[in-house]
Structure 1
Amino acid sequence: MKLTNETLKDKTFWAERGYRLPSFDRDDMIRKTCNKPTWIHFGAGNLFKAFQADACQRILDMGLGDKGIIAADRKEKKPEENDNLTVKITLKADGTTEKAVIGSIAEKVYLYGSEDRLKEIFEAPSLQMVSFTITEKGYAIKDPKGNLLPDIEADLKRMPDSTETYMGRMTSLLFARYIKNAAPLAMVSMDNCSHNGDKLKAAILCFAEAFGDKGFINWLSAKVSFPWSMIDKITPGPDASIAKLLSDDGLDKDTPFVNAEEREYLVIEDDFPNGRPCLEKAGIYFTDRDTVDKVERMKVCTCLNPLHTTLAVFGCLLGYDRISDEMKDADLRKLVENVGYKEGLPVVTDPGIISPKEFINTVINERIPNPFMPDTPYRIATDTSQKLSIRFGETVKAYMKSDTLKVSDLKFIPLVYAGWLRYLMAVDDEGNAFTPSPDPLLETSQAQLSGMKLGDEPDSEKLKKFLRNETVFGVDLVEAGLSDMIIRYFGEMTKGIGAVRHVIGAM
């Protein structure tokens, strides 16, 4: 069976196989959306189809809206043969799945190839929201040294009619709206990066200022919003086992599908000058900017990311291939519980709209152990030197500032710091060499342990000098009073084969 508008009419086929179908008049939705668009999304990949498109579909199913989404990709890879329909498979922690057909995408356009249609969409007064999931790199305009990227520098000279970069074209489209009617608009980054709205705004303003039209710049400042958002949902690449499931259901081998975990969080600053869909009815949170920031800090500094990094570092040392399998290891499970519940929650940033305790409960009991999630310690350990300062350093700082807690009470976060030092040796707990994950400071960090072998005594002075690096660790760990404990843990984990397991098992 091919997935098309026509085959959706065979209700019996889909019902017998347990698929949730769109219950709204899809032809009517497509007509209304294309005539008076309200929402266009750039970066229409797996996350978008599994999350935002499904949320829009729920609104349509409830009769709370009659417009869908226009989805925009960079370039057309192959002709659309499925009427913009996608199968969504929800991967539940108990090993079961839920199946749905997502039909809220009314039209698909392309950044390179649909220029005229994109201009029409941006000029429509009805357009309320332009959203993005294009990764943090999509907003980059400067290199790490603060210099304009070459393609950006060249594109700035082409404003506004001949731009070629992503942000250049966005600015050109906004300029077309300004010239046509200057109607207000919300530009909403939904990418998983801190203060994402500011990154998008900075990129747009860079182009607008180079163009030099003061009226346009004033309109961007007064009538165009750039809300912050926080998104959290694991959407792995299409899995072969899910492709087989669809095949067993009798679907065509080329049926487009996404597979994703059940839990999802999207918190958006409620700043929409031209109105917005009532997505709060589909579980999306709308709040103020400060609360968005607090939700992100809750997740990144306490309730999810530190646990992932803990499992990544020790998973590499203990030879695990999947993060989910580590949660079957009693020692590792106890370790992440202590990092999260015992040391993190006492100083967690509580956003008020989501309970930190409930959030971490789902992370430890549902999300990380989910057997469908293919995340590996190797992948999660990527760029660890860039993550330690936020994922653990903020908690250490909170203990240092507290009137009731003592830094010396921390035992498990120092163990993670020590575990990363042990990881830098690139030798696992069985004494076998392994390749550490990519990291911009890998070589520099490994140099702090140069010549160190299992069985050697740590060079305390050299390590203390490294542990003073606030850029890596978030705080001066010597000044914080944690360096001696970290070096002691590290020394115990380098005594020989099996020492890492012995140390975490004794905690």
Structure 2
Amino acid sequence: MASQSEESVLSQMLTDKSKCSSMKVHKPSYDRTKLKHGIVHLSVGAFHRAHLAYYMDLLASEQNEINWGIVGVGIRMFDKPISDALQSQKGLYTLVSKGGNESDVDVRIIGSMIDYLFAPDSPEAVLDVLSHPDTKIASLTITESGYDLDINNAEIQHDLKNPQQPKTVFGFIVHALNRRKNAGIEPFTVMSCDNVQANGEVTKKCILSFVKALNNQDLLTYIQSKVTFPSAMVDRITPATTDSDRDYVLTKCGITDKWPVVTEPFVQWVIEDNFCNGRPPLEHLSSYNVLLTEHVEAYECMKMRLLNASHSSMCYLGYLMGYRYIHEIILDQDVKQYIEYLMNDEVSSTLPPVPGIDLELYKKTLITRFSNPNIKDTALRVCMDGASKFPKFLNPTIDQQLKSNQPKIHFSSLAIGAWIRYITGVDEENNPITLQDPLADQLNLKDIANNTKPNVKEILNINQVFGDLGKNEKFVKSVQDVVNLLYEKGSKATLKQWLNMYKSQ
């Protein structure tokens, strides 16, 4: 049984018990007061609560695993609203998965997050919990752009000089590991849950760069020899929470929840079995698409080049066409055909073999997932951080194709051209586009793109985004042709002409 305070909070959330019963709301079946904080998760967002926290809730519910409760940590000031919500609900929240049909709904109150800390208010408390012997894993979701570590960044510089009051994820992790080293406590595993190729190695590189800047050789040796950074492929399309989601949870499910999460039924986690201080018994979750492996790379490659690249590619063009939701974009038959051509004719041949995966079925499943009208995923959400996403998601396909005997870059060029048109910050009706891309701001891409005459070659020569791709004349010309068409004819006519050009080849 839960404690009185736990029962009180849960009872307050279950506003209409008759609706909860009719919707078959799953509630925590375990005693949350007995959960230990085996995991500290840095930067809690919707995806974490639909993925890792969901999986740990399953382990507690179905396997009575009590050692893998989660302490969530909000890092940035903009995390304050979710911090207030989760703290007032003692970490409880509603997870709703919606399939393509109205009847395909699953409602679950997640109890695996047993505490939540807001780092700007209490950095010492965050360091304390990270340094606690019960903490076996420090996990993080900081988005793709979060790994573009700039050691000269003001907050990173602050963290290098203020080990008691860090502000960044990397500052908290490194200073907590230093405390553990000095106290003779085994280190924790550092586990990225972001869509980044070889995310374990990328995270390790960021951590080591930070430590080298500290000029602490003992700590560097300690981390290099004792800390592990497993790579993982994570997958679940999860939009940001809206007021409509809160209203749905209240009126349809009978639950008052300040920050629920609405997601799709599909979920997957392929993770490298490389933990330095114990791990959850993830093998018990194989029926929920969890796979422990020594070789994550092929799965990462498949997912990023097919799902993530397609997601971004269709959203820039779709937004220019006037669509605002993912399902609206993919239900446009021209866009659907474009994405199918991109996946089948350009991406698939660049993929390594993926054990146990039917690639044709996987691609068809992606189209079905994109078409789900019930999770209301926005194009703007997917359009975020394009300057950080393309190097990881689409550029590797372009690079491999350009190195082949018969390079196919027709639809990859369309994706890049649409992004260049999008980052001018003005749509085809001359309405402003809200750009959310720190790297684009840092590189001044909006001014370079210029909404009257984009300098395509100059943009493609930005090494930080495109590497050496801008040196390939075939690629530059193809992207320039797309951009010219977008300005001359608009996005819908450009897409039709681009499809017709391909079919006539």
Class of the TM-score when normalised by the shorter of the 2 chains = 0.7 to 0.9
Say if 1:467 and 1:13 are closer, same or farther in 2 by CA, change over 3 A. Answer: closer
Contact 1:317 / 1:427 at 8 angstroms: preserved in 2? no
1:421 offset after TM fit, Å? 6.1
Q: Encode CA deviations 1:43-94: one digit per residue, 9 max, x unaligned.
A: 2332222211110121122225232413232375368343432111112123
Q: Which of residues 157, 167, 179 is equivalent to 2:182?
A: 179
Q: Encode CA deviations 1:423-469: one digit per residue, 9 max, x unaligned.
A: 678886xx63344563442321348936xxxxxxxxxxx86787677
Q: How large is the Cα RMSD of the aligned pairs?
A: 3.9
TM-score by length of 1: 0.79
1:251 offset after TM fit, Å? 3.6
SS of alignment partner, residue 449 of structure 1? coil
Q: Encode CA deviations 1:346-377: one digit per residue, 9 max, x unaligned.
A: 22233425444333222112x21111343444
One-letter amino acid of the counterpart of residue 157, structure 2: E
Q: Which of residues 348, 353, 356 is equivalent to 1:350?
A: 353
Matched, 1:19 2:25: yes
Q: Encode CA deviations 1:388-420: one digit per residue, 9 max, x unaligned.
A: 555444323323444xx612x554334445555
1:91 aligns with 98
1:295 aligns with 299
Q: Which of residues 433, 445, 466 is equivalent to 2:430?
A: 433
Matches within 5 A, 1:74-113: 74=74, 77=84, 80-95=87-102, 96-112=104-120
Contact 1:2 / 1:252 at 8 angstroms: preserved in 2? no
1:235 offset after TM fit, Å? 1.9
Structure 2, unmatched stretches of 5+, are: 1-6, 75-79
1:500 aligns with 494
Contact 2:350 / 2:401 at 8 angstroms: preserved in 1? yes
One-letter amino acid of the counterpart of residue 55, structure 2: A
1:108 offset after TM fit, Å? 3.3
1:214 offset after TM fit, Å? 4.4
Say if 1:261 and 1:432 are closer, same or farther in 2 by CA, change over 3 A. Answer: same
1:115 offset after TM fit, Å? 6.1
Contact 1:388 / 1:474 at 8 angstroms: preserved in 2? no
Name the CA distance, whole Å, in 1 between partners of 2:423 and 2:119.
42
Name the CA distance, whole Å, in 2 between partners of 1:257 and 1:463.
42
Contact 1:88 / 1:257 at 8 angstroms: preserved in 2? yes
Contact 1:230 / 1:292 at 8 angstroms: preserved in 2? yes
Contact 1:122 / 1:173 at 8 angstroms: preserved in 2? yes
Identity level (%): 24
Contact 1:381 / 1:437 at 8 angstroms: preserved in 2? no
Name the CA distance, whole Å, in 2 between partners of 1:358 and 1:285.
19
Name the CA distance, whole Å, in 1 between partners of 2:299 and 2:415.
24
2:77 aligns with none
2:412 aligns with 413
Say if 1:297 and 1:77 are closer, same or farther in 2 by CA, change over 3 A. Answer: same
Decide which moves more: 412-421 or 266-275: 412-421
Name the CA distance, whole Å, in 2 between partners of 1:13 and 1:319.
37
Contact 1:394 / 1:474 at 8 angstroms: preserved in 2? no
Name the CA distance, whole Å, in 1 between partners of 2:146 and 2:466.
27
SS of alignment partner, residue 370 of structure 1? coil
Name the CA distance, whole Å, in 2 between partners of 1:209 and 1:422.
40
Q: Which of residues 130, 133, 140 is equivalent to 2:138?
A: 130
Matches within 5 A, 1:17-416: 17-24=23-30, 26-27=31-32, 30-33=33-36, 37-63=37-63, 65-74=65-74, 77=84, 80-95=87-102, 96-112=104-120, 118=126, 121-135=129-143, 142=150, 148-159=152-163, 161=164, 163=166, 165-206=168-209, 208-209=211-212, 214-249=217-252, 251=254, 253-282=256-285, 283-288=289-294, 291-301=295-305, 303-352=306-355, 354-365=357-368, 367-382=369-384, 384=386, 387-388=389-390, 390-402=392-404, 406-407=406-407, 410-416=409-415
Say if 1:413 and 1:217 are closer, same or farther in 2 by CA, change over 3 A. Answer: closer
One-letter amino acid of the counterpart of residue 190, structure 1: C
Say if 1:362 and 1:480 are closer, same or farther in 2 by CA, change over 3 A. Answer: farther
Structure 1, unmatched stretches of 5+, are: 451-461
More helix by share: 2
Say if 1:377 and 1:152 are closer, same or farther in 2 by CA, change over 3 A. Answer: closer
One-letter amino acid of the counterpart of residue 271, structure 1: N
Say if 1:219 and 1:337 are closer, same or farther in 2 by CA, change over 3 A. Answer: same
1:481 offset after TM fit, Å? 3.8
One-letter amino acid of the counterpart of residue 411, structure 2: F
One-letter amino acid of the counterpart of residue 88, structure 1: L
Q: Encode CA deviations 1:189-232: one digit per residue, 9 max, x unaligned.
A: 22333443345434544554565554443322222212223323
Say if 1:150 and 1:109 are closer, same or farther in 2 by CA, change over 3 A. Answer: closer
Say if 1:487 and 1:224 are closer, same or farther in 2 by CA, change over 3 A. Answer: closer
Name the CA distance, whole Å, in 2 between partners of 1:491 and 1:473.
20
Contact 1:315 / 1:326 at 8 angstroms: preserved in 2? yes
One-letter amino acid of the counterpart of residue 370, structure 1: N
Contact 1:57 / 1:104 at 8 angstroms: preserved in 2? yes
Name the CA distance, whole Å, in 2 between partners of 1:112 and 1:467.
38
Contact 1:64 / 1:278 at 8 angstroms: preserved in 2? no
SS of alignment partner, residue 10 of structure 2? coil
Name the CA distance, whole Å, in 1 between partners of 2:108 and 2:126.
29
TM-score by length of 2: 0.79
Contact 2:200 / 2:232 at 8 angstroms: preserved in 1? yes
SS of alignment partner, residue 321 of structure 1? coil
Name the CA distance, whole Å, in 1 between partners of 2:147 and 2:416.
32
Say if 1:113 and 1:287 are closer, same or farther in 2 by CA, change over 3 A. Answer: same
Name the CA distance, whole Å, in 2 between partners of 1:182 and 1:333.
53
Decide which moves more: 391-400 or 316-325: 391-400
SS of alignment partner, residue 225 of structure 1? coil
One-letter amino acid of the counterpart of residue 105, structure 1: M
Contact 1:389 / 1:472 at 8 angstroms: preserved in 2? yes
Matches within 5 A, 1:462-473: none
Q: Encode CA deviations 1:446-501: one digit per residue, 9 max, x unaligned.
A: 48936xxxxxxxxxxx8678767776656657846456665666666655476325
